[in-house]
Amino acid sequence: MTTTQPAARATKLFAAAGASFLSAAETAGGMGVLFGRVLVRMFPPRVDRGELRRNLYKMSVKSVPIVIVTALFTGAIMVIQAAPIVKRLGAEGLVGWAAGFGTLREIAPLLTALMISGRVGANNTAELGTMVVTDQIDALRALAIDPISFLVLPRFISITITLLVMTIYADALALFGATYASRALIGVEPQAFVHGLTGGLLGFGDVANGLLKSVVFGLVIALASCHFGLSTTGGAPGVGKSVNATVVASAAGIFVLDYFVSFLLG
């Protein structure tokens, strides 16, 4: 290191930048190819019903507890953060609207997606990754079963449906938590809170905006988790690395797409 010439150091920097660009391109390309393969099998849908039902149960029903906890706390936090702003404007009747706007459009879909990405996405990668390192995918191929329609397509559909349903659920629970948190913490009665929600400043468009985002987030989590799961190499440490890559890629993808979807919908 001490004798490295400036030119050599610059080359190393370019090499590192190029390598990380190549690996990002490889990931994006891999996900694109996987998405294409899934789409081809979607029309007409060739999906294993039993596998779909198993995955829906495992991903949706089993995620209900963490979604409940996350949503209730999130609603309460939204009220705590909106309280000083609303008080400053002297409009305590608006706290329902202020907390509701942020919750429905942004925070509920975003936090639900992050939690589902941690639970479902990571778990899905671990499961597929384990199948890869124990040669179960090759065994499927040897039995002439298409791994994409047997394993990936049901997971793809399940994750997207899970996120949509859980976001609807989280919206409702977060608003419920916010209603009672505002009574306990800043003394706004539930009637006033609900009036702020339904008083005409919030419309179905705000809810639809959040739900559309949740579908996009679901696709991102599904793509990332299946891609990294299927491209696992190298035993138990490899599975750990794949799971790590999935949660990082999902989180980054969720934030970046969140911005573009918000901006496009306006």
Partner 1 sequence: MSAQPRTPATRGIAFDVGSAAAEFARGAWELYSVFARTLYFIAKGKREKGATAAQMYAIGNKSLAFMTITMGFIGMIMVYQAGLQTQRILPDFTLLGATFLELLVRDLAASIGALMLATRVGAGIAAEIGSMVVTEQIDALRMCAADPIDFLVKPRFLASLVMTTALIVWAGAVAFAAGGATAYFAFDVPWRTFANLQLVDAGDLITGLTKCVAYGGAIPIISAYCGLSTFGGSEGVGWATTRAVVSSSLAIIALNFFISAAALVVFPK
Residues that bind partner 1 (CB under 8 A): 66, 69-70, 73-74, 76-77, 80-81, 83-85, 87-88, 94, 98, 101-102, 105-106, 111, 114-115, 117-119, 122-123, 125-127, 129-130, 133-134, 185, 201, 235-241, 243-244, 247-248, 250-252, 255-256, 258-259, 262-263, 266
CA distances from 87 to 78, 123, 188 (A): 14, 43, 11
Q: CB-based contacts of 47: which residues, under 8 Å, 6+ apart?
A: 41, 149, 153, 154, 157
- Identity of the residue, 51 or 146, whose beta carbon is nearer to partner 1 in the bound complex: 51
- Minimum distance from residue 181 beta carbon to partner 1 (Å): 9
- Identity of the residue, 55 or 149, whose beta carbon is nearer to partner 1 in the bound complex: 55
Q: What are phi and psi of 70, to 5 degrees?
A: -60, -45
- Minimum distance from residue 36 beta carbon to partner 1 (Å): 26
C-beta of residue 224 within 8 angstroms of C-beta of residue 31: yes
- Minimum distance from residue 18 beta carbon to partner 1 (Å): 15
- Identity of the residue, 149 or 181, whose beta carbon is nearer to partner 1 in the bound complex: 181
- Minimum distance from residue 118 beta carbon to partner 1 (Å): 4
- Identity of the residue, 55 or 250, whose beta carbon is nearer to partner 1 in the bound complex: 250
- Identity of the residue, 39 or 265, whose beta carbon is nearer to partner 1 in the bound complex: 265
- Minimum distance from residue 141 beta carbon to partner 1 (Å): 20
Place of tokens 């969140």: 258
CA distances from 117 to 47, 185, 224 (A): 23, 31, 10
- For residue 134, what are its two tokens? 């124990």
**Total number of residues shown for the chain:** 266
C-alpha 51/C-alpha 248 separation (Å) is 27
